[in-house]
Structure 1
């Protein structure tokens, strides 16, 4: 299952400054993040039970951070890679959004919605 996450800053004059946005959550079951473009998990966690293909993150409570400017193009997505900095909507709508995409483990017969979402 793939997910695209967009983060908007609708504050009139307050930018999201360093250290930038850092959303986190808790998985309900044993989901993992297989891959990610435009951001990265701050910690991989214990992926020792996987052989061959190693997931991007195995933590039950992952935290995601934006990539820095200058990230190679094959690791970018539109509106990413500003180090988590997001301008205010009123001052610069073009840069008032951050975006990332990821692939995670979940089958089509169950809905794997994370709990305890934390936006920082």
Structure 2
């Protein structure tokens, strides 16, 4: 089997704590269990990367609005946001862990994720 390594795949996960990063990629999809639309953002710097999913749901909208605001893109009522505008934006994030129960197995899982988006 031949395995191609794409740009950036040799990087490790970012260390916990505050990190200044650039948004390098956006992928769109739907959650596996409830079909909720999301976009996954890849935050990257010289030290590594972290990916984070933003769910387009009432509970997820505050995080989405915060991300756009910190990237310098005004998010206000009645305005439609385009995730592609985020690519290349530099922001400061805090990297940390979150635990949850896997709906398929009921087992606890821990994810490393981005939280607390700050303007750079």
TM-score (norm 2): 0.26
Higher RCO structure, 1 or 2 (CA under 8 Å, sep 6+): 1
Q: Which has the higher strand share?
A: 2
Q: Which has the higher helix share?
A: 2
TM-score (norm 1): 0.26
